[in-house]
Chain A
Amino acid sequence: MGIDRLIRAPLPVILPLLLGALALAALTPVPGDRIALITRLGRPVQVVDQGLALHWPLVDRVLLIDRRAITTLQEDIAAIGADGQGLRIDAYATWHVADPARFATSLGDPERAQATLRSALAARVQGAGGGDAPALARGAADGALRAGLAADLNRYGVAVDAVHLSRVVPADGPALDAALSAMAVRADGDAAVIAEQGRRDAALIRAEAQARAGQIYAASFGKDPQFYDFYRAMLSYDAAFAQKGSHTTMVIAPDSAYLHHFGATP
């Protein structure tokens, strides 16, 4: 019965419905993360930043373009470092659409934009030429790269927020080999130096101990050098002849001090 009534419904019923349909066709909500570009028969006519985009139905088309920052990464860019060795660089740019009309007419779909962005980025990084690799990794060239890329992409309606080099390493092959062998050579040298330093320190420590011992001896024995001479000789005889198992044959002169009383008359 609903359809039946709708078909036979007079203007007061049809009109609001028609107006509603028209409104739906003429109004497009613009999400917060998009910009609406209204094109009339293919030509951009208006940009709507937010809210509802009002446009003619059928004649106009609404393109919703991402307004958020987009990250474009270009990997493995070949460059030459300050030392003449090859470098492999990953660079990325963060950018956003600044002029939707220009962006839509020149780059249009995101895929094409990414490809263009990547090649422009690679060209800029290569063109920036060499540099001290660690300095590049710390962002020494980022400002210049951003300015250069921004100039390149201005005509596409693209604004470049930042350019960073996310990886700077020696290129695989000779450059990497050279870097690694330099590390190895440095390590070998370090090892040799450290070993020598160890020996030096040990010798110094020993000499110091000997000197200290000498001081102790001198301080003690110097109190009576004459008696020390006698005392030390006795110790020495003891060590040389008086040990158990010593097989020494002693030939003693009868007039030696030891036998002084031997032949004496009591």
Chain B
Amino acid sequence: MDGLDRGKRAETPPGDGFEATRNGDGDTPAAPPRVNPWRQAAPMRAARLPHRAAPRWIGKITRLRLPRWSIAGLWPRAAGALALGMVAATTVHPVGLHQQAVVSTLGQWGATQGPGLVFSLPWPIASVRVADVASVRVADVASVRALALPADPGEHLMLLRDGALADVAYDLRWHIGDLRAYALGQADPDAALAAVAETAVRAAMAGADAAALTGEARLALARDAARRAQAMLDAGHAGVVVDAVVLRRCDPPARVADALRAVAAARANAAQETDRARNWGRQWIAHAQGEAGAFEQILAQYRQAPAITRRQMYYATIERALAQSDKVIVATPRATITVPTAPLHDTPPEAGHGH
């Protein structure tokens, strides 16, 4: 400023011989001739120019001027661009399909926001937390949030209703239901979830008998455990959704496995035994039906011709019997009694029941 003023005042600076002579010749000491130098011929302009452009402040400025592409010349622009970039990067946040976001403005947390673009004030006034909330089973196995218990491979005994014990291992599948509640609800969500899962599964087991550890009943148990876990989490506003509890293992303790195997074996044996009895019975009845059927066939024939049928059967049978035997005929009637062939008109020997 003052440099410019000084320059204006010192229109005719001393120490320049050419100027001094011009001054000495000139009519008015301070005022230059009112001639447009650009209209003059080239030599005239060259002669007059130094007089016009000579002020010291201009020389000073030109000497002060820094190179065009130096760091110092660039830094305001760079800082500006950086600030702009930062503002842009910290105000717009893309939130993916399986994500939720919570905006925290000066420490105050807003509501959970769904997929899409989420806007906030720039950092450090606001910060945004984005998290994957869905458990996508098929597309991305890594994003499944599953809690597998027990962590160690050993026995994990749980109490049943009748005081018996079972060795249980399970997975609890879950996802974040509400990111805000999840972030603000629990200081250590993993520990809380593990405790809840363990309580829920054990409570479900404590309501079941050993017989309920297989098949359909086992599925019902797992559902009961999931329901209990969800209820506990909801009571604590944990922002967690339980997808399922899967009972991976549900066995008797190793130390009573033998005794329980014996029960299973007894059950199998009993089933086999009744099966065998049933087969035997069917066979027995079929035999009876056969015998009765044969008798009825012959009876029908007998009713048509009783005497002939009877005599024919008698001779045929005795013939077959004697054909296979050594025969001794004793003339004396009282000599022996070993005669199986009874007279037709006598009372026959007792009929057998065999088959």
Contact = CB atoms under 8 A, between A and B. Distances in A.
Give the interface residue-count category, chain B: 35 or more
B299 A223 contact: yes
A224 interface: yes
A247 B339 contact: no
Give the interface residue-count category, chain A: 35 or more
A138 B207 contact: yes
Given A166-B195, A209-B285, A229-B351, A29 B187 contact: no
Interface stretch (A14-22, A38-46, A115-123, A194-202): A194-202
A33 interface: yes
Nearest to B75: A2
A220 B163 contact: no
Interface in B295-348: 295-296, 298-299, 302-303, 306, 310, 313-315, 317-318, 320-331, 333, 335-336, 338-345, 348
Nearest to B331: A254
A83 B232 CA distance: 29
Main secondary structure of the interface of B (DSSP, over half): helix
Contacts, number: 319
A250 B288 contact: no
B302 A227 contact: yes
B16 interface: no
B2 to A, nearest CB: 17
A217 B273 contact: no
Contacts of B271: 198
Interface centre among A69, A133, A188, A254 (most CB of B within 10 A): A69
A137 B206 contact: yes
Given A69-B187, A231-B295, A195 B266 contact: yes
B310 A230 contact: yes
A216 B289 CA distance: 6
A245 B267 CA distance: 47
A210 B284 CA distance: 7
Given A71-B188, A229-B348, A247-B326, A168 B206 contact: yes
Ranked 4 nearest A-B pairs via Cβ:
A198-B270, A209-B281, A220-B292, A32-B109
Interface of B: 104, 106-109, 157-161, 163-165, 183-188, 191-192, 195-196, 198-199, 202-203, 205-207, 232, 235-236, 238, 252-253, 255-256, 259-260, 262-263, 265-267, 269-274, 276-278, 280-282, 284-285, 287-289, 291-293, 295-296, 298-299, 302-303, 306, 310, 313-315, 317-318, 320-331, 333, 335-336, 338-345, 348-349, 351-352, 354
Given A52-B106, A184-B256, 11 more contacts: A30-B107, A50-B107, A90-B198, A133-B206, A179-B163, A183-B165, A194-B263, A198-B269, A209-B280, A213-B288, A250-B339
Interface of A: 29-34, 50-52, 66-71, 73, 83, 90, 92, 94, 133-135, 137-139, 161-162, 164-170, 179-180, 182-184, 186-188, 190-192, 194-195, 197-199, 201-203, 205-206, 208-210, 212-214, 216-217, 219-221, 223-224, 227-234, 236-259
